[in-house]
Amino acid sequence: MQVLLPLEAPRLLLRHAHDSDLAPFAALNAEREAAAFAQPALPPGHRLRTHCLDRVTRAEWLEREGITP
């Protein structure tokens, strides 16, 4: 079975900070600034924990991680 992507693919969101990291993704219409992803509030060891992601903005992610921009 083959999966075909539409010609107008949605813009990809990346969390990379360095231009050199983004270079391979430029052809894929990638965004320089993007939302980050974090684990949802599932108990440690829950079997879905590694498969589920919550979408948060970069600012929210930095705040959760206690990082000062």
Helix (H/G/I), strand (E/B), else coil: 46 = coil
State the Cα–Cα distance between residues 48 and 7, nearest whole angstrom. 33
Helix (H) or strand (E) holding 55: strand 54-56
Domain residue ranges in the chain = 35-69
CA distance 59 to 34: 10
pLDDT in tens, 27-59: 555 555 555 455 556 677 777 666 555 666 777
pLDDT in tens, 8-29: 444 444 443 444 555 565 555 5
pTM of the entire predicted model: 0.26
Query: What is the chain's percent helix, strand, coil content, to nearest 5?
Result: 25, 15, 60
Q: Is the per-residue pLDDT at 61 higher than 70?
A: yes
